[in-house]
Every structure is written in C-alpha cells, then in structure tokens.
Structure 1
Amino acid sequence: MTIELHAIAAPVFTARLKALVHLLKIGESEGRARGLSEEAVLGARLAPDMFELKRQVQIATDHVKGAMARLAGLEAPSFPDNEQTFAELYARIDRTLAFVASVPAAAVNGREETIVTLKLRQETMELTAIDYLQGFAIPNFYFHLTTAYDILRHLGMPLGKRDFLWRQ
C-alpha cells in the first residue's frame, strides 16, 4: 500500500481548522455573553510565558500552510500576524483553507522521500517529507490547536471533546 501524503495532510488540516472556527465561535459568543471583551478573550493565555489565543491561531495556520507548501515544493503564502479580532482570525483561517484546497494531490503525492529543509531559530533540520509531516508538522499543528482549545476552556467556555473533534 502506498502512503499518499495529500490524503494524510489535507483532510486532517481542513477538518481541524474548521473545528478551530467552531471553537472560536463558541469563545466569541460565550465571551460576549459573559461580558468579556474580544481583546480579553483573544489575549488570554495559559501561562505568562505562553502565547495568547490569537497567536496560537496564527501559528496553527502557519503550520498548515507551511506544511502544504513544503510537501508540494511550493512557496507558502505569507500572512502578516496582525489579526486583532475574531473576524480577522476567521478570515485568516479561510485563507489557509483556500490554500490547502488549492494544492493538488498530484503536487504532493509521490514526494514522501523528498527532503524538506527546515530553518529553525537555532538549527536546520532535514527530514523526508513523510517524517516532516508525521513527526513535525502535524504534532506542531495539534499543539497550537490544543492550546487554543485549552485557553478557551481555561476561560470557562463550555467546550468539550466533541467540540474539539467537531466535524461539519
């Protein structure tokens, strides 16, 4: 059986980004109902040295567009990290979903052994595309997605596992 990178990446990223919108919509409406400002909800964090909710969303989308671009050998679209409202975050997620949808399976599949080079702050990593996807891109995406969920839960939003796993 052949592993198809596109089938591993695109549906997972798409479904989870749509679930992220669902989570954010609950946070937005519940926050408003509780008298929390949009700024307070989007600026919430779990610990002083962690990024706030809006940054978790930005990084999650960055991992998705970066992963799809690297897997296909494309340039990732650049989004400035300037979102300050829920509406702006929804638009960012929509742009990310559109990019994922624009990457054809044929551009990704068959590239499992292609070397992906990651330039990180203090090192450069070289991984095969399959190792990059399974061992770096998806885990990092889920870290930021889960942290966004956790921040909303920490604020007392009525979210549960079903919301995290929400499917449209």
Structure 2
Amino acid sequence: MTLSMYSASVPVFSRMLKNLLAIFEKAEAFAAAEGVDLQTYVETRLAADMHPPRSQVQIATDGAKGVTSRLAGKPIPSWADDEVTWADLKARLQKGIDYLATFTPEDFAGSDERDVTIKIGGQDVEIAGDTYLLNRGLPNFFFHITTAYDILRHKGVPIGKRDYLG
C-alpha cells in the first residue's frame, strides 16, 4: 500500500482541527459549570513569551491551509487574524475544516516531488513536497494544536489523550 500525500495531509489536518473544536466545546461546558469567563482561555499563556490559544488556533489553521494549498499548487487564501473571542476561535477552526474539505486526492498528484517555496529565516527556500509536509508542515501544525490543548488542560479543563486523539 502506498501512502498518498493527500492521505498524509488533508485527513490528518481535518481530524485534528475537529478534535480541537470538540475540545473547545468541552472547555466551554467546563467554563459554564465552573463560572469561568471564556475570555480568560483566549488570552492565557503557559509562559510569557508563548502565544495564547487565540494565536495557536490562527497559526494551526494557517498551517493547514498553507500546506495543503502549496502541495496542491493552489493559491493560499488570506484570512485576517482578527479573532478575539471564544466564538471567533471556534468559527476559525470550522473555517479551516471547511477549507480542507474542498481538496480532493487528485489535487495532490505529483505533490511529493513538486517543489514548494517557503520562507525560512526571511529567505525563500525551495523544498520537495514530501519533505515539506513531513519535516515542516505536520510538526509545526501539531506543535500549535498541542499547545492550545496544553493551555486548556493547564486551566483545568477536564480533557485527556482521548480528546486529543479523537
């Protein structure tokens, strides 16, 4: 069996965004039960120099749409990073899920060998599609999904590995 670039990207990104959306719904229920203002979740940081969930969601969804668009050879849609409320973040996650649903396996034909151009250290760098997905795209995406999860867990939201994995 051969693993396709589509199978290694779109379903993986979609599943994790859906899982994070479900985690956000659990956080919402927990906040309601405990009398916690959801806005505190939006801006919480694990460390002063780390991004809050607001940014983690923006970066994760940007990563998912950027990686898939580059691999499929399509223009990357520009989304304003203007989410400031809990509802905005949930809508951003859904927007990412909806965008990923527009791709087909055929869109990724030859993408493993197609070079994509990304910025590294402010410089344009060409990298093979498979290397880009496996060594840059997926690790960066998972870092931001995990960090959003960790912040909510740190705030006491009763979530665990099953929620993360879905």
TM-score normalised to structure 1 length: 0.93
Determine the structure 2 residue equivalent to 1:72: 72
Determine the structure 2 residue equivalent to 1:36: 36
1:95 counterpart SS class? helix
Instruction: Tell me whether 91-100 or 16-25 shows the greater mean CA deviation.
Output: 91-100
1:7 counterpart SS class? coil
Identity of aligned residues (%): 41
2:161 equivalent to 1:161? yes
Preserved contact between residue 31 and residue 41 of structure 1 (Cα < 8 Å): no
2:128 equivalent to 1:124? no
| Matching residue's letter, 2:125 | M
Cα RMSD between the aligned structures?
1.3
| Matching residue's letter, 1:72 | A
2:94 equivalent to 1:85? no
1:76 counterpart SS class? coil
1:67 counterpart SS class? helix
Unaligned runs of 5+ in 2: none
Determine the structure 2 residue equivalent to 1:113: 113
Q: CA deviation at 1:32?
A: 2.9
Alignment partners' CA distance in 1, 2:44 and 2:31: 11
Deviations 1:87-131 (A, max 9, x none): 211221222112111112111122211111102343332210000
TM-score normalised to structure 2 length: 0.94
2:35 equivalent to 1:8? no
Determine the structure 2 residue equivalent to 1:45: 45
Determine the structure 2 residue equivalent to 1:58: 58
Runs in 1 of length 4+ with deviation above 6 angstroms? none
Deviations 1:52-95 (A, max 9, x none): 01110111100000011000011111111111222211221222
**Number of corresponding residues:** 166
Preserved contact between residue 43 and residue 52 of structure 1 (Cα < 8 Å): yes
Unaligned runs of 5+ in 1: none
